[in-house]
Amino acid sequence: MGDRLNVEFKFSDDKSIHLYAHWAGSRILSSSSTVDGRKNLSEALEIASTRLGDKTYYTRIIISQLIGQDWSGQLSWGIAPYYIDSENVDVVVDMTKDFSHMLKDAKTWFVKVGDKTTWLNKDTDYGAVL
């Protein structure tokens, strides 16, 4: 039950942070714009792109944008150094792959969706891929 999604923020081969969304999976992956102050993944990546040079800030900004006004709530979201729901490992924001490329082009991000790993351009790819 729910609309679950795990987003892994991969810092290295053995270090990741995982954001678990219990009721927001479809919205996070949607190509639709902001809902109730919460951004979808495409919007969050765009906002965070100003801090691509600092992976910690980059990750925190994305997580903040996805959670939006739900920060004070006690339900729906979890953050851990492991997968929170092993059945739903859905999206990986992989910062181990050619991060210098990400710095050169702030409109392009390396993202893994399910078994597919690719560079995504926020202007053209999100509606089709996510």
pLDDT of residue 20: 94
pLDDT of residue 53: 78
Alpha-carbon distance of 103 to 68, in angstroms, equals 25
Q: Are strands 77-80 and 89-94 parallel, antiparallel or unpaired?
A: unpaired
Q: What is the largest CA-CA distance in the chain?
A: 41
The model's pTM: 0.76
Alpha-carbon distance of 35 to 47, in angstroms, equals 15
Radius of gyration of the chain (CA): 14
Which of residues 103 and 7 earns the better pLDDT score? 7
**Mean pLDDT calculated for residue range 48-64:** 88
Tens digit of pLDDT for each residue in 76-99?
999 999 888 756 557 888 787 655
pLDDT of residue 111: 59
Phi-psi region of 16 (alpha: psi -120 to 50; beta: other; left: phi over 0): beta
